[in-house]
Chains A and B, each alone.
Chain A
Amino acid sequence: MRPATTNVKTLKIDGRDLSGRQEETILEVARQNGIFIPRLCEMEGLTDVGACRMCLVEIKGQNRLLPACVTAVEEGMEVTTDSERLQNYRRMILELLFTERNHVCSVCVSNGHCEMQMLAQRLGITHVHFPYRYPKEEVDASHDRFVIDHNRCILCTRCVRVCDEIEGAHTWDITGRGIDAQVITDLNEPWGSSETCTGCGKCVHVCPTGALFEKGRSVAEMLKRRQFLPYLTMMREENE
């Protein structure tokens, strides 16, 4: 039960008069009202980290852009979720993500179901303006049922958060810093020999790209079932 004295804030998003509770973020209010704000790291049911910067929005009276996923709504806020400036920023972020590892849609299990691909298509990205890095990343297929292909990982840390917060196993984490950063299982061991992994597959289904997938899936065959997360959160809240 929420406290009776919920503080309601009214604000404008893309010219529409909307309202939200004071603890809600711009992204949540926008989502409830069918306004699309692109994002890669945010996911309903997980804590927000504000890492991908795709959800940056303009707020009237503020020169800098703010990430919608970690910015709480305020009274009288006027938010713009789509403008040329924002599109340029988002396009650059995506282009840099594409150049950082080896994202080859035509051979990817998530082709057609990939969040990054979908956002790139929405923004009309046909090519990138930066040189590709072509790093030699590893593919770990030691797990019975799942594979991690670091070539397709964008380090959104959704897998890390879902494993820690929802499954409670904390098998995943990030090692290193900057360009050397990588997701790892336990003490950087092969996923298959991880003692903490429960094999639940939650990480696979929250992964926005084809970095985590089920074995035996071929190109474009990896459909991710994201519905489990809001459902699980709802059921747990009801049981409390």
Chain B
Amino acid sequence: MITLTSLPLAEADQEFLDKVIAQRGGRPGALLGILGKAQDHQPRKFLPRETLEYIAAKTDTPLARIFSVVTFYALFNLEPQGKNTICICRGTACHTRGSRELLESLMFKLGFHDPDDEMADKISLNTNDGKYTIRTVACFGQCALAPVVEVNHEVYGHMNEQTLQRELEHLGRETAKK
């Protein structure tokens, strides 16, 4: 069951949404763009309940329609995302080169122990401390570099547990600095 996160909408955010809606509103298919902009604007890259309700009211879109759209597309997040996003490829090439083991060890290191999660086709998990988000994708199109891991939108090829561990330590230091 998907639940929405509550986060009151500040006045500045309302103004931002008004502007986006004024730019795009009224055209068919505008909703996707508006939701995308709203999510990018949010520092934690997600769509809180209040934002969805505000967009629904301003664009005269039914609430159910909005919920349908944000749960259909994987690009929309309903939970606050971690500061660092680690995305592991689960495509065929990466799978044969050990991406399952990479994923399992990463999940274990970040404190996820639910075997149901490990078996899921698509993973999107956030650590409680708000530092990390783990995701899986079907393919990055970089199969020659298998197994591929994307860390904060940078693609790393030929990963193994050691290099991933090094990357994780690096991220930990960087995040602590900020």
Contact = CB atoms under 8 A, between A and B. Distances in A.
B67 interface: yes
Given A173-B62, A175-B2, A196-B62, A186 B67 contact: yes
Contacts of A176: 2, 71-72
Nearest to B3: A188
Interface residues of A, number: 18
A185 interface: yes
Contact of A184 (B3, B52, B64): B64
A177 interface: yes
Contact of B66 (A174, A185, A187): A187
A82 interface: no
Contacts of A164: 62
A9 interface: no
B65 A187 contact: no
A172 B62 CA distance: 9
A187 B63 contact: yes
Contacts of A171: 62, 64
A158 B166 CA distance: 53
Nearest to B53: A187
B1 to A, nearest CB: 8
Interface string B45-74: 000010011000000001111111001100
A226 interface: no
Interface in A124-155: 138
A188 B62 contact: no
B2 A188 contact: yes
Contacts of B67: 173, 175, 184, 186-188
Given A173-B67, A176-B71, A177-B72, A187 B62 contact: no
A187 B71 contact: no
A12 interface: no
Chain A CB within 10 Å — which of B2, B62, B64, B66 has the most? B64
Contacts of A187: 4, 49, 52-53, 63-64, 66-67
B62 A170 contact: yes
Contacts of B71: 175-177
Nearest to A195: B63
A174 B68 contact: yes
A172 B63 CA distance: 9
Contacts of A172: 64
A186 B72 contact: no
A112 to B, nearest CB: 31
A187 B51 CA distance: 12
Nearest to B61: A170
Nearest to A170: B62
A138 B1 CA distance: 10
A93 B107 CA distance: 38
Contacts of B64: 160, 170-173, 184-187, 196
Contacts of A169: 62
A134 to B, nearest CB: 16
Nearest to A160: B64
Contacts of B53: 187
B9 to A, nearest CB: 15
A188 B4 contact: yes
Given A187-B4, A196-B62, A196-B63, A173 B68 contact: yes
Nearest to A180: B71
Contacts of A185: 64
16 contacts: A138-B1, A169-B62, A170-B64, A170-B65, A173-B65, A175-B67, A175-B71, A176-B2, A185-B64, A186-B67, A187-B4, A187-B52, A187-B53, A187-B67, A188-B3, A196-B64
Given A172-B64, A184-B67, 11 more contacts: A170-B64, A174-B68, A175-B2, A175-B68, A184-B68, A185-B64, A186-B63, A187-B67, A188-B4, A188-B67, A196-B62
